[in-house]
Structure 1
Amino acid sequence: MAGAKGLATLIRLAKWNVDEKRRALTALQAREEQILAEIHAAEVQLAEEQRLAASDATGIGAFYGAYAQAWLDRRAQRFGQLAAVREEILRARDELAEAFTELKTYEITDRERRKRAQQERDRKEQAFLDEVGLTMHRRRPTEDTEG
């Protein structure tokens, strides 16, 4: 059954591939969450800076404009990173789906191969038992000759 060993190897490799794709997807999703957390933290920080600038009577509020522009630039950069990560997540999901489909194909093929092999063993066993029964029937003395 060299084919069965080869198929078992393919299944093992396909499972490994699915696991790798899952890990990659999980890492990308963690990166997405990190970027979202950074965006949220920056928005909280901006609100705090706005509050301080509005309540400042010493003139430090004049620097708020530069801060706000830098904040907008960082925000745009983070949203760009978020969009890129989300594209990668979509690709990773597609790759995971393909890897999973490949694994399932191998597993179904293996299951069908095993089922056919069992059916063949059952057929041979039944043929053997039929032959034994027929042989025993032929060797048995007939009841007509005993009487």
Structure 2
Amino acid sequence: MLPALLAAIAVLSLTVLAWPSRGNRKAHYKASYPYAGRLKLGHFLTRCFSLAALAAIAGWGYVTMLPMSGLSGHGGFETLSQMDGLLLLFQFLSITGFVGGALVALFNLYTTCTGATMFLAKIWSIALVFAFLVLAWVGWLSKLYAFTTNF
């Protein structure tokens, strides 16, 4: 499962990193946005949910590292127990980014496959669906969707 998780994180990272790059190229060459309507909405929402999913992954990485910081005398489980609001935020981001992202990626796949888009855009839409489904599955297995701070 770890290789699939790393591949999913790579796909989402490339999606988020390509977002400002594409915008800069469009502004430099004064090009118009190639999509309209539902294609544009699916394209935009997929990038937003990719960012939310990566923020959730980074947040859980931070929370995971907190108990290890207690070895130096700062932080640890005492600090973690005082961060209930942050834990709830990361749980919300997990549901929104992983499950909501999977739904948005399926919508994007549908609009991309039925619209007039290039072949590579369709392939990337399939990769995004698999990436979000892997993250949703890992989130389910890791119990990241429970709105509780009992640990």
Task: Give the TM-score taking structure 1 as reference length.
Answer: 0.44
**Which structure is higher in helix share?**
1
| Greater RCO, CA 8 A, separation 6+ | 1
